[in-house]
Amino acid sequence: MSIELTFSGPYALVTLNRPEALNALQFAMIEALADALDRVANSDARALIVTGAGLKSFCAGADIKELMDRDLMSQRRGAQLGQRTFAKLAALPIPSVAVLHGYAFGGGLELAMACTFRIATEKARMGLPEIKLGLIPGYGGTQRLPRLIGEARANEMVMSGRTIDATEAERWGLVNRIVQAGDPVELGKSFMAEFIGYSKCASLFAREAVQRGMATTLAEGLDIEADLSTLAYRTADAAEGMRAFIEKRTPEFKDG
């Protein structure tokens, strides 16, 4: 299978496993990814780590050979499939990280941008090179990139197709952190360890407030925050967290 899903303790691990083509995404892989994400959403995992197999590449983008010679309607359906699947990734009830240890181009970078976080090794190279093929991104890149790094820099990447390295990507806010090269799964686990010890409810509400707020006005975002922070306040975990502070002990969250 070109998409592998495994579980390791609190982590769900999705691997793009087509290293002979630098993990380029075929439509069947996107469908398999959607199925894998459903299984992750219904599991007890507390975080998702997305990696690419092989030493060279996270994902070199959509499979260019498969993209050729398709009629417009099937091409549009393909774009909708990719967008729907990456939206499912962005909306998972648990946080996710893409570990970029090599190329992350086109659809591969779009997949990474749908994750909550991105970390990169120094060897990572990122870009949206679709313009060089006479195309533009079709799996959310023109929308998620400006939200992450701002309109001017997004236009620069989308309109030039330029490849950026890990240092520039970190400076621009496209990746959260540059990490020392190593086993991508272990890199993902040690990055996510900081986020998985808290109440799953609070973690979800926090991410949802940020995510929904980014898609609307400040006034509506503040309303969303007021609602979700009140909801968080009503959880048993919030009662436990506040009580533990007063009693000077470590809280025991139960995700409720």
Interface residues toward ligand DAK, by CB under 6 A:
21-22, 24, 60-65, 67, 75, 78-79, 103, 105-107, 129-130, 133, 135, 138
Distances (CA, A) of 89 to 38, 122, 128, 137, 208: 9, 25, 19, 18, 13
Nearest approach, Cβ of 29 to ligand DAK (angstroms)?
Answer: 11
Write out the two tokens for 204.
């979800």
Which residue has tokens 């181009």? 105
Task: Name the residue nearer to ligand DAK (CB basis): 78 or 95.
Answer: 78
Give which of 207, 211, 204, 213 is closest to 235, Cα–Cα. Answer: 204
Name the catalytic one among 4, 20, 130, 156. Answer: 130
Nearer to ligand DAK, 21 or 185 (CB): 21
Question: Which amino acid appears at position 191 of this protein?
Answer: F
Active-site residue 110, yes or no?
yes
Is residue 90 within 8 Å of residue 48, measured between CB atoms? Answer: no
* Shortest reach from residue 190's CB to ligand DAK, in Å: 27
Q: How far is the CB of 139 from ligand DAK (least distance, A)?
A: 6
In the complex with ligand DAK, the residue whose CB is nearer, 67 or 124, is 67
Respond yes or no: is residue 130 known to be catalytic.
yes
Which of 158, 46, 60, 159 is CA-nearest to residue 102? Answer: 60
Enumerate the H helices of the chain as residue ranges. Answer: 27-41, 64-67, 72-90, 107-114, 141-149, 151-160, 166-172, 184-192, 200-214, 218-233, 236-246
Choose, from 110, 168, 170, 240, the residue flagged as catalytic: 110
Minimum distance, C-beta of residue 183 to ligand DAK, in the bound complex (Å): 21
Closer Cβ to ligand DAK, 144 or 207, answer by number: 144
Q: What are the two backbone dihedrals, phi and then psi, of residue 50, each rounded to the nearest 5 degrees?
A: -110, 125
Give the residue closest to ligand DAK by C-beta: 106
User: Which residues are marked as active site?
Assistant: 110, 130
